[in-house]
Structure 1
């Protein structure tokens, strides 16, 4: 991440903006703590099958599942897998990592549906999100979200996470392409009514979010919520409170 971050210089790009007109956010693991929900949901669904697996190994596999160690979501975004197909790939990998047979093909759909029911109850915003949005409201700066997922699915996620205040939303389906293609970013700016160069895009992926936003003419900012903070660079935000400070500084 350090090399990618140094090449992108997201904060330097922010300070080149004379006035911030609007802010667009990624959703998963930027606004909504999807990683924690995914890990907890995975533990719930595998409690019986993994009962003989060491706790440390179970946690490792749960994190691999949540982080998509199978690389299946990228294949879904590329049109190579269906949504259920990418989840099935992740399930199969998880069971293989602990030396167990995965659920049979006819049961994978049931597993996925049960997982979806559990994880949706766990979706929640990070603690700093509402304070950040309150501050943007106070500054009269419009905001929205651009996501690499189906818009209707993400709209429901925002609602269940208590973030229905975010009205502007662009999904990869409605934009016609996923990030880092410029179309989703441009669609978000159009809905906000802001100029590309005066719009910030905040996300947790240095390539899809920051590099993609910068290439589209926006100003990408990387937010790193990891507890170990792999980089001490001031160019990486550790929370959304820092974002408000940057905007006020402009």
Structure 2
């Protein structure tokens, strides 16, 4: 939260979940579940996009979320993990890995 405040970005988010607010952090599945709860979304319907395979992607998947690894360095994707090298690739990765978006969006 402190970083978002320093950058003047805190007002751009409806929900912020941090180690400071929870007392524990990623990759603990409770972090992702709390974010889903605050957003009102079921974990299986939420996608986490992160640049850390261990902390963002595997942690999110452990909580039941779908996840995409932002692998900017091209360190190597696996069939088990959806990955993109650039944020411009996210839509195609989501469609290819998880199918078309739900109609309620």
Q: 1:197 to 1:158 in 2, by over 3 A?
A: farther
Cα deviation 1:1-44 (Å, max 9, x = unaligned):
xxxxxxxxxxxxxxxxxxxxxxxxxxxxxxxxxxxxxxxxxxxx
Residue number in structure 1 paired with 2:3? 154
Aligned residues: 95
Could you list the structure 1 runs, at least 4 aligned residues long, displaced by more than 4 angstroms after superposition. none
TM-score if structure 1 supplies the norm length?
0.34
Greater relative contact order, per chain length (Cα 8 Å cut-off, separation 6+)? 1
CA RMSD of aligned residues (A): 2.4
Task: Output the CA distance in 2 between the equivalents of 1:225 and 1:210.
Answer: 14
C-alpha distance 157-233 of structure 1, shift in aligned 2 (>3 A): farther
Structure exhibiting the larger radius of gyration computed from Cα positions: 1
Q: What's the counterpart of residue 66 of structure 1?
A: none
The answer to whether the 8 A contact 1:175-1:183 is kept is no
Aligned residue for 2:75?
A: 230
Partner residue of 2:41 out of 194, 209, 216? 194
Residues 57-115 of structure 1: CA deviation (Å, up to 9, x unaligned): xxxxxxxxxxxxxxxxxxxxxxxxxxxxxxxxxxxxxxxxxxxxxxxxxxxxxxxxxxx
The question of whether the paired residues in 2 share the 8 Å contact of 1:158 and 1:166 is answered with no
TM-score (norm 2): 0.74
Mapped partners of 2:72, 2:89: distance in 1: 12
Q: Does 1:241 align with 2:81?
A: no
